Amino acid sequence: MKSYRSTKGQFKERPYFKDEEIEMICLDALRGVNLLPGEPGPVRVDRFIEKHFKVTPKYELLEDGVLGLTVFGKAGVKDVVVSSEIDEGGSVASERLVRSTLAHEAGHGLFHTHLFAFAELSKPLFGDHSDPAMPKVLCRDVNAGRGGKGYNGAWWEFQANKAIGALLMPKPLVEAAVEDFTTASGLLGLREFDHARTPEAIRLLMETFNVNAPVAEIRLEQFFPASSSGQPML
């Protein structure tokens, strides 16, 4: 991880993570609490938060457009809260949105705790929850942008979004899950993905890892980009 001085926004420094660093941070964190599945399957992300951060996720009524939030204290993550509205949705899609929200909040904990613990903030951060003096990050629905309250592409949200795939769909497990959709190519035995079967692979990944379609689509494109069709992938 690199850090850059920042003159804009709430933080005086901005961490930068390469994709492979994000993958390794999340893999190591899952392994550290023995929650990396031995074969492709759903990651117990709620249990991961309990074991890694020593907090139990809460489900509360949050303001419109807010899916979840992370509260930071002197010792690190103090609370992880998910909107009770999506938790009570009662559908498979709602369950999967809760899982994605938990993984997003865990990403803030993994990547940004040091900013809240050590950095001086230039102004109060992201609004209030229960304690206006307690630093927190509110994570808004990407579709809740009316009135300027939606996700605005902030770098800390972008980084936390990266954790959704890395935690819910760890790279080694994704590669194992789609092995039948790939063929060995060349002397090095690199794997080439059959893009004609992309919809089938996405459905398989959704069911295997209990995620919604956008998460599976983004993850598959990350490892087997359509723009590289015909080129073997590691």
Q: What is the pLDDT of residue 75?
A: 83
Give backbone dihedrals phi and psi of 159, rounded to 5 degrees, phi first: -65, -40
**Residue 147 — left, alpha, or beta (φ > 0 → left; ψ -120 to 50 → alpha)?**
left
The structure tokens listed for 24 are: 């390794």
> Do 163 and 22 form a contact (C-beta atoms < 8 A)?
yes
Model pTM? 0.84
Q: What is the pLDDT of residue 134?
A: 52
**Please, what are the averages of pLDDT over each run of 10 residues along the chain (234 residues)?**
58 82 98 98 98 97 92 90 94 97 97 73 42 57 40 79 97 97 79 94 98 97 78 43
The structure tokens listed for 55 are: 């907090």
The structure tokens listed for 127 are: 């609004």
Strands (E), 156-229: 182-185, 190-193
Q: What is the pLDDT of residue 15?
A: 86
Of 161, 130, 233, 139, the closest CA to residue 190 belongs to 233
Q: What is the pLDDT of residue 124?
A: 39
In whole angstroms, how far apart are CA 1 and each of 20, 69, 72, 180? 10, 24, 21, 34
